[in-house]
Amino acid sequence: MNRKLLKLLAKNARYSLTDLADMLETTEEKIKDEISQLEKDGIIRGYKTVIDWERLDEAYVSALIELNITPLPDSGFEDAAEKIMKYDQVESVYLMSGGYDLTVIVKGKTFQEVAMFVGKVLAPMKGVISTATHFVLRRYKELDIIMCDDQKDDRESFWL
Amino acid sequence: MIDYSKKLNSRATALKPSGIRKFFDISEKMTDVISLGVGEPDFQTPWHIRQAGIESLEGGKTRYTSNRGMEPLRKEIANYMKRRFELDYDLSEVLVTVGGSEAIDLAIRALVDTGDEVIIPQPSFVCYEPIVKLAGGASVVVELKAENNFILTPEQLEEKITDKTKVLVLPYPSNPTGAVMPKEALEKIAPIIIKHDLMVVSDEIYAELTFNNNRHISIAEIEGMKERTIIVSGFSKAYSMTGWRLGYALAPEPIITLMTKIHQFAIMSAPTTSQYAAIEALKNGDEDIKKMVSEYNSRRRLVVKGFNKIGLTCFEPLGAFYAFPCIKSTGLSSEEFCEKLLYSKKVAMVPGTAFGDCGEGFVRVSYCYSVEHLKEALKRTAEFVEELKNNG
């Protein structure tokens, strides 16, 4: 039941307990307990709302930064990753295979702000060899949610 | 000026037009209608299947195929039937058609002579009666009952058989009711079919969409039935390939040969691109089906629970992607209910009467929509029923 519940929550964190209970053929009590347990076990790490800030004309800029790091003996890239992830401006940190070591996604109010962060905080950090900053110009899809205008249902509304 | 009424085929002219057209036209003109009326999946054809179709086009595979359908495809269909339903069919017993629809048409045309009677359980898909009539046959309706979970009972079947009866159409899992015929129910009607030497056209297009871990059982699996059954099915519902127009028929060789003859004169062969895509679907599509069925299942539960909560009792559908709630408690007829609901709450459902007179008192609800869409529809329907109670 875990898996199915997680799949539903991954799709929409705001399903009511009633809806979840109906869809999984169980009781609201059981769902509540299940969710609590998953949270305790660290499997559910949090709940986020996907917002299109641009529609509000709110200043919102994000950038994907490719970092190359000198790995340390024993800890590898851990130290750098742990240091970087503590910053509020940093939305995501991933260790990567391929041409560079860490992907860091940084958000800010302006291009300036993000560039400053990269230049003043990330680039000079101990162990960082190089950075390559790519600004996001337009979001089409984020976390499985389509950000552009609603896709029309082009099926005939009745069919026999 | 030509008087066309004198030029047109009388059998076709006599066919009743679909009663649903009126609703479709009304709902088209309204905005923000939440429809629950479609009969096709909201999923896209899985990418790897589309890819196979695209590659075949890029590779220039645009010629006719063999009338019966490409041999690799027929092989895969036979493998699939063995793998999924434990049925053995030879290559000579498989015909690839333009959708399950063409397979039904061919099956009827291959079996029915003028005046032959064809038993059609209702409520069911609207095409059976017209197809039988066009072939010169007579349709005999059996009215399925809600208290039997819309299963065909042996008594009901026996009652309708005359010395003219040739064919029984058996559409399960069912559109519009979502009912399935479990093995015991099939075993009960088989002896009657055999006793009266009837042929069966088994429309199994929804065979992959069954819930509660019950694999669909084909009547062809019942002892003594395979030699007198034409199974028709296709790719539209299982793989979300409605627009690709590809289906198949499985039957004893003499029947397939005759069906192929008609098919080759009328259609030549099924679309080549679709056939290539279908091979990929059968080979590698099992996981896709599982995913879609799981998704439909959550929605099914939500919808059935939802209608029962509103007071529109809904027996539990175990197949297809429809629920068939009973609206009798509102005191309205099916058409009145749907019309009032459409106008006052902009929710579109299909009246049960579109599927046969015995659909009166019911409405068909498709759950090929997102959970959000279904919840909104349920909310509005609940409001509607509440308002009816308060006003009436």
- A160, B28: Cβ pair inside 8 Å? no
Q: Which of A65-79, B184-198, B218-232 has the lowest mean pLDDT?
A: A65-79
- Taking only the tens place, the pLDDT of each residue in B228-252 is 999 999 999 999 999 999 999 999 9
Spell out the residues 6+ positions from residue A98 whose beta carbon is closer than 8 angstroms to its own: none
Q: What is the pLDDT of residues B378-390, one digit of tens each?
A: 999 999 999 998 8
Q: Which residues of B touch A12 (CB under 8 A)?
A: 371-372
- B32 interface with A at CB cutoff 8 Å: no
CA B331 to chain centre: 29
Residue A92 C-alpha, separation from nearest chain B C-alpha, in angstroms:
29
* Cβ atoms of residues B248 and B103 within 8 Å: yes
**In the predicted model, what is the mean pLDDT of residues B127-149?**
96
The one-letter code for the residue type at B108 is I
d(CA B260, CA B272): 16
Q: Determine the pLDDT at residue A128.
A: 93
pLDDT tops 80 at residue B20: no
Task: Provide the percentage of residues in chain B whose pLDDT is more than 70.
Answer: 99
d(C-alpha B109, C-alpha B316), whole Å: 35
Peptide bond into A71 cis (omega under 30): no
Residues near B83 by beta carbon (within 8 Å), at least 6 away in sequence = none
Secondary structure in 3-state letters for B117-186: EEEEEECCCCCHHHHHHHCCCEEEEEECCHHHCCCCCHHHHHHHCCCCEEEEEEECCCCCCCCCCCHHHH
B95 in Cβ contact with B103 (< 8 Å): yes
Interface membership of B370 toward A (CB under 8 Å): no
Specify the pLDDT at position A96: 95
Phi-psi label, residue B97: left if phi above 0, alpha if psi -120 to 50, beta otherwise: beta
Q: Count of alpha carbons within 13 Å of B118, Cβ hemisphere only?
A: 29
Chain B, nearest residue to A7 by Cα: B295
Number of other CB atoms surrounding residue A116 within 10 Å: 13
What pLDDT, in 10s, does the model give residues B328-364?
A: 999 999 999 999 999 999 999 999 999 999 999 999 9
Residue B134: phi, psi to the nearest 5? Answer: -60, -30
For residue B215, what are the contacts with CB-CB under 8 A and spacing of at least 6?
B84, B85
Summarised one tens digit per residue, pLDDT across range B272-295 is 999 999 999 999 999 999 999 999
**pLDDT value at position B77?**
98
Cα–Cα nearest to B373, from B316, B302, B320, B321: B302
Nearest-CA residue of chain B relative to A11? B371
HEC profile for B330-389?
A: HCCCHHHHHHHHHHHHCEECEEHHHHCHHHCCEEEEECCCCHHHHHHHHHHHHHHHHHHH
pLDDT, mean of each 10-residue run, chain A (160 residues):
90 94 94 95 94 84 95 87 94 95 95 94 92 93 85 67
| In chain A, residues 71-90 whose CB comes closer than 8 Å to chain B | none
Task: Sort out which chain B residues have CB atoms less than 8 A from A153's CB and list them.
Answer: 42
The residue that leads in pLDDT, B212 or B338, is B338
Measured between CA atoms, how close is A158 to chain B, in angstroms? 5
Among B18, B294, B371, whose Cβ lies nearest the Cβ of A160? B18
ipTM, 2 decimals? 0.71
Between residues 13 and 52 of chain A, which touch chain B (CB distance below 8 Å)? Answer: 15, 19, 22-25
Radius of gyration from C-alpha coordinates of chain B: 21
Mean pLDDT of chain B: 95
Q: Per residue in A57-69, pLDDT tens?
A: 877 899 999 999 9
Residues B32-49 pLDDT 10s: 888 898 888 999 999 999
**What is the DSSP secondary-structure string of B80-122?**
HHHHHH-----GGGEEEESHHHHHHHHHHHHHPPTT-EEEEEE
Does A159 reach chain B within 8 Å, measured CB to CB?
yes
> Among partner residues A4, A8, A158, which is closest to B350 by beta-carbon distance?
A158
Provide mean pLDDT across the span B61-83.
97
Task: For residue B24, give the nearest of A12, A15, A157 by CB distance.
Answer: A157
0.90 cut: is pTM over it?
A: no
Is B266 within 8 Å of B236 (Cβ atoms)? no
Size of interface A-B (CB pairs under 8 A): 55
